[in-house]
Amino acid sequence: VVFKMSCFRFAPSPNGYLHAGHLYSARLNAEMAMARGGTLLLRIEDIDITRCRPHFEAAIIADLAKAGINFTGEVRRQSEHFSFYAAKIEELNARGLLYRSYETRTGRKNENYALKLDMQKALAIVSKPLFWLEKGERIEAKPELWGDVTLARKEIPTSYHVSVVLDDAMQGITHVVRGEDLYEQTHIHVLLQALFNLPTPAYHHHGLIVDAEGEKLSKSKGAARVSL
């Protein structure tokens, strides 16, 4: 019997301060890692270089430390791995699974293309059943719900989907604990894991902290920085 140590991660994007929803997620990860005698790693998801800022990253790291959440090992910063993501995307391209789209959301032509996954071709080459374990329950992945997803853009040569899937594998993550706003994205992540021949971790999508109006906390709506 091979015993695989449980490995969790917290993966904030430094495009704002840590709010109560992030702190809840980080604490849940820390508790679950502790309960399993596993480790918790920190990843900074800063591929969106137009919105991420070093001072937000520093503030997030300081707030997590103040909250008493301890991480093992080195911080993985996605902006340091653009060439790795680009190489993996090129692998998919070489397999004929990607195409360039110059269309914008409004249907107008754009000079900055998006690299999209040909969903039909991708589904045709995966032979194993696509599923993930959600809180122990088997969920069938239906990536076709998303159609041809964008995996990279001319300006940013990767995407959340590609980077998160590759990094979960690079960091040996066995358990992904994150907000339920990312539940539907898991359909794509499971497909990408199959295409890249990577293991699928177990998933636990948790409820979101809401404000007095019942809206989920978000940086874009100016949720307050946690006070510690």
Q: How far is the CB of 43 from ligand GLU (least distance, A)?
A: 8
Question: Given the rule CB under 6 A, which residues bind ligand GLU?
Answer: 11-13, 45, 164, 178, 182
**In the complex, minimum distance from the CB of residue 22 to ligand GLU, in angstroms, rounded to a whole number:** 7
Cα–Cα dist 3/16, whole Å: 38
Please tell me what DSSP assigns to residue 158.
S
Q: Within a 10 A sphere around the Cβ of 128, how many other Cβ atoms?
A: 6
Beta strands in 22-169 (DSSP E): 39-44, 76-77, 98-103, 109-117, 131-134, 137-140, 150-153
Buried b (16+ CB within 10 A) or exposed e, 160-187: bbbbbbbbbbebebbbbbbbeeeeebbb
Q: Please, what is the minimum distance in Å from the beta carbon of residue 216 to ligand GLU?
A: 11
Least CB distance to ligand GLU at residue 179 (A): 7
CB of 11 to ligand GLU, least distance (A): 4
Nearer to ligand GLU, 114 or 164 (CB): 164
What kind and span of H or E run contains 9? strand 7-10
Nearer to ligand GLU, 116 or 178 (CB): 178
CA 43, CA 61: separation in Å to the nearest integer?
10
Query: Could you tell me if 140 and 3 are in contact, meaning their C-beta atoms sit under 8 angstroms apart?
Result: no
For the bound state, the minimum distance from the C-beta of residue 1 to ligand GLU, rounded and expressed in Å, comes to: 30
Query: Are the beta carbons of 60 and 128 closer than 8 angstroms?
Result: no
In angstroms, what is the minimal distance from the CB of 141 to ligand GLU? 15
Torsion of CA 69, 70, 76, 78, to 10 degrees: 0
